[in-house]
């Protein structure tokens, strides 16, 4: 009986750590640069849209994904993604016709 109680006690400490590590119960918010004003025409500077999308992704809780879609040509000047992020941000770049 004492061994069983020890097992339950150890499990109660380990399980929350595993769930946090695996992002169990969190949602993945999607932040597409097109929804933040990027034109993707190769002529218009899309830098601010990239920064705004990244900043929104950082403000989320849990996991968030910054999406750069295929089929567009983005003109982006020097951009630095920095600052404190609440979320774990994943950046996905979709490439076509390469």
Residue 42 lies in a domain: yes
In this prediction, residue 81 has a pLDDT band, given cuts at 50, 70 and 90, of confident
Single pTM value for the model: 0.68
Classify residue 62 as left (phi > 0), alpha (psi -120 to 50) or beta. Answer: left
What's the domain range around 70?
Answer: 27-93
55 within a domain of the structure (yes/no): yes
pLDDT, position 82:
84
CA-wise closest residue to 53 among 35, 74, 28, 75 = 35
Q: What is the pLDDT of residue 18?
A: 44
Q: Does the residue 9 lie in any domain?
A: no
Tell me how many domains the chain contains.
1
Q: Averaged over 62-87, what is the pLDDT?
A: 90
Query: Is 22 a domain residue?
Result: no
Specify if 15 maps to a domain: no
**How many whole angstroms separate alpha carbon 7 and alpha carbon 63?**
31
Alpha carbons 19 and 61: distance in angstroms, whole number? 15
pLDDT tens-digit readout, 17-28? 444 444 444 578
């Amino acid at each position: 009986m004492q061994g069983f109680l020890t097992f339950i006690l150890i499990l109660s400490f380990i399980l929350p750590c595993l769930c946090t590590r695996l992002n169990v119960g969190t949602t993945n918010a999607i932040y597409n640069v097109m929804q933040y004003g990027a034109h993707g025409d190769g002529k218009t500077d899309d830098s601010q849209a990239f920064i705004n999308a990244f900043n929104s992704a950082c403000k989320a809780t849990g996991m968030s994904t910054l999406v750069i879609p295929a089929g567009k040509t983005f003109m982006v000047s020097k951009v630095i993604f920095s600052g404190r992020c609440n979320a774990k941000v994943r950046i996905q770049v979709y490439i076509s016709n390469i």
